[in-house]
Amino acid sequence: MRLSNLADYAVVLMSAAARQCGSVPLHAAMLAEQTGIPGPTAQKLVSGLARAGLLVASRGSGGGVRLARPAAAISVADIIEAVEGPIALTSCVSEGRHDCSLEGSCKVQPHWGVVNGAVRGALAEISLASLAAAPKARTPQPIPALAGDEIRV
């Protein structure tokens, strides 16, 4: 499983927008510069994220974009779905036509909805606010010695 570059860039762009939220009017060019995302791609993403209701755009002097709701109320799943459409790990969990040759005889197909729901649920639990926050320092954990291993100094 792998996100498209566009979905990845959307998460990066929205994280940058959340970090800047309220300080200055945001523009696609400024977000592109801050993130390293190419300008045309950033503009495309800003437009798409605004259409999806995650960003609000305003024109004129002092215009730009801002988050449509608090960063804590926007999930990674929301961002991915704004770019990719509904999260569907296999064709049999997506709405509409299915193109699987095993459809009708597959014993796993009834269970894919549960798997898909678990993945989407995990992504829905990660808020944009948590991605925009400074990472916590991780304390390295010692590797436990295996039984019978001798540690010499």
pLDDT digits 0-9 by tens, 67-93: 999 999 999 999 999 999 998 888 777
CA distance 11 to 46: 11
Q: Residue 26: which residues within 8 A CB-CB, separation 6 or more? A: 17, 20, 64, 65, 66
Residues in the chain: 153
Q: Which residue has the tokens 């678990």?
A: 118
The predicted model scores a pTM of 0.81
Structural domains in the chain, sorted by start: 5-92+104-132 (1.10.10.10)
